Amino acid sequence: MRTDYTTTLLLRVAALKYLPTVLHDVEKVFDAKLLSELLHDFYSCIPPEILQEQKVNSLQKQKVASMTEIVSSKLFQRQECRDVLLPMMLRELGGALASMADGPHDERRNSLELLNNILEVLSRDSVGETFQHVQDIVVSLLRIINRTVITMGREHALIVST
């Protein structure tokens, strides 16, 4: 059986699009940590080199949008689930931000929105211990974020100056 690349790509985009829709219901019947591990495996099976080589913008955009929805879910508010999901999200963000330093405005906006949502969840008092998670973000993304901000310049729409 031979699969067509375009069909496979469309199926991946559809899976990424509709996964967050059912996540709330699936959380009720699955163990939260097991669900986090399954989500980690699902996102990890979409290799980033395909995204860069084939320039499949819709897949990358949908992947980041889907992760943003997961960060907004109750699942991500649990510390044991963040322990599983956050490293995968940081790898994805690091790759996305590094590869699109000069890329389109929308792609950066989606990645920065994901990072912003992660930081918002970590800033809440009700989500447990967050020190290690914030430290992981700083260690893995601070250099990339600084480099991206420097190359964007002060007049860029995503740079807020006060």
The pTM (predicted TM-score) of the whole model is 0.82
Residue with the bigger pLDDT between 19 and 162: it is 19
Q: What is the DSSP letter of 126?
A: G
Amino acid at 124: R
How does pLDDT run across 35-84, given as a tens digit for each residue? 999 999 998 887 654 444 444 567 778 888 899 999 999 999 999 999 99
**Short-list 105, 137, 8, 17, CA closest to 68:** 17
Return the domain boundaries, the chain: 5-152
CB within 8 Å of 95: residues ≥ 6 apart: 48
For the chain, state the CA radius of gyration. Answer: 16
100 contacts 48 by C-beta, under 8 angstroms: no
How does pLDDT run across 85-108, given as a tens digit for each residue? 999 999 988 888 877 655 555 567
Six-digit token pair at 129?
């211990």
CA dihedral 144, 149, 151, 156 (to 10 degrees): 150
